[in-house]
């Protein structure tokens, strides 16, 4: 929703200022300029990247129109998940997790609907719980998780680089469209000044479009994608801390507290909020 509001502000402020200054809106409607800029940018995108990465980049870019995936409630679900996991292992032993690991959806009290929808996070948790059940050393487990998180970090930022590269190229394609418009204008030498003026104005619209798309629309989307990639990295760090606590046999309450300390301040539940949640689960 905020993305749409931002787009409306960008577009309305630019168009409003242009009209306020006495500009004519129809001159901005130049389909040929849009075709050159957008078509060339998309063509360069396809040339520079594998098709799978192009599809992922477009999917993640359009996903920015949706709310943030990791809210405070999501973190609370994750903390409760590990609180209950460590509590279960204390009472029933590590082997009691085997059935749960193979079918996490079977126990929605531990793996809530929000967690099961995040397939990457769920797989990360279950795969490492399997290693814990097999008796892997803690330092080996931590090293494996670090490697998995580094790979996930690269995967999350690859689409960001694609979109940001596209944004960086749009002003240049705008200049290309403007130059082609100037070439066309040169063909009209000798025409009445009014005709020449419209042709020059239409050519300059290309530069305007390229810069506007780069810094008003595509660039901000790339920045938002980067922020969300960092959010995804933080949720994995939080889950890693819970898994390490589980492997070390840390108490359920301290596991939740260790994980709470990994959460960024804007999403971190207070001590009282977490304590009330843990007490309600006991009741």
Residues 6+ apart with CB under 8 A from 267: 70, 71, 72, 75
Average pLDDT over residues 208-222: 91
- Could you tell me the two tokens for 239? 């889950």
- Closest among 266, 216, 262, 239 to 80, alpha carbons compared: 239
User: Tell me: the pLDDT tens digits for 29-69?
Assistant: 888 888 989 999 999 999 999 999 999 999 999 998 888 88
77 vs 196 pLDDT, higher one: 77
Q: What residues contact 99, with CB distance under 8 A and at least 6 apart?
A: 106
In terms of residues, how long is the chain? Answer: 283
Least confident of 112-116, 132-136, 194-198: 194-198
Which residues, other chains included, contact 207 with Cβ-Cβ below 8 Å and sequence gap of 6+?
171, 174, 175, 177, 178
Does the pLDDT of residue 198 top 80, yes or no? no
Ranges of each domain in the chain: 26-282
What count of other Cβ atoms lies within 10 Å of the Cβ of residue 67? Answer: 8
pLDDT beyond 90 at 109: no
Instruction: Give the closest residue to 160 by CA, choosing from 230, 63, 233, 225.
Output: 225
Query: What confidence tens digit (pLDDT) does each residue in 115-148 have?
Result: 888 899 999 999 999 999 888 899 999 999 999 9
Mean pLDDT on 159-171: 93
Report pLDDT for 20.
82
User: What would the DSSP string read from start to end of the chain?
Assistant: -HHHHHHHHHHHHHHHHHHHTT--GGGG--HHHHHHHHHHHHHHHHHHS-HHHHHHHHHHHHHTTSPPS--HHHHHHHHHHHHHHHHHHHHH-GGGGHHHHH-GGG-TTTS-HHHHH-HHHHHHHHHHHHHHHHT--HHHHHHHHHHHHHHHHHHHHHHHHHHHHHHHHHHHHHHHHHHHHHHHHHTTTTS-HHHHHHHHHHHHHHHHHHHHIIIIIIHHHHHHHHHHHHHHHHHHHHHHHHHHHHHHT--HHHHHHHHHTTS-TTTPPPHHHHHHHHHHHH-
Backbone dihedral angles phi then psi of residue 171, each to the nearest 5 degrees: -60, -35
Of the ranges 17-21, 141-145, 224-228, which one carries the lowest mean pLDDT score? 17-21
């Amino acid at each position: 929703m905020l993305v749409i509001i931002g787009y409306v502000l960008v577009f309305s402020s630019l168009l409003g200022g242009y009209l306020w200054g006495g500009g004519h809106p129809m001159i901005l409607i130049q389909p040929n300029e849009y075709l050159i800029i957008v078509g060339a940018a998309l063509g360069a995108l396809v040339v520079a990247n594998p098709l799978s990465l192009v599809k992922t980049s477009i999917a993640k870019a359009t996903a920015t129109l949706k709310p943030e995936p990791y809210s405070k409630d999501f973190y609370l679900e994750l903390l409760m998940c590990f609180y209950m996991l460590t509590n279960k292992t204390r009472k029933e032993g590590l082997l009691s997790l085997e059935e749960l690991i193979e079918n996490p959806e079977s126990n929605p009290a531990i793996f809530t609907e929000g967690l099961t929808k995040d397939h990457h996070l769920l797989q990360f948790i279950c795969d490492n719980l399997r290693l814990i059940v097999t008796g892997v050393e803690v330092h080996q487990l931590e090293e494996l998780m670090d490697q998995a998180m580094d790979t996930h970090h690269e995967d999350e930022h690859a689409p960001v680089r694609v979109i940001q590269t596209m944004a960086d190229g749009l002003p240049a394609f705008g200049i290309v469209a403007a130059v082609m418009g100037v070439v066309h204008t040169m063909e009209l030498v000798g025409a009445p000044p009014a005709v020449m003026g419209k042709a020059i104005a239409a050519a300059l619209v290309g530069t305007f479009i390229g810069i506007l798309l780069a810094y008003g629309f595509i660039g901000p989307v790339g920045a938002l994608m980067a922020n969300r990639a960092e959010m995804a990295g933080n949720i994995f760090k939080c889950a890693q801390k819970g898994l390490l606590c589980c492997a070390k046999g840390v108490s359920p309450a301290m596991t939740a507290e260790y994980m709470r300390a990994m959460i960024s301040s804007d999403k971190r539940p207070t001590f009282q909020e977490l304590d009330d949640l843990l007490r309600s689960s006991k009741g």
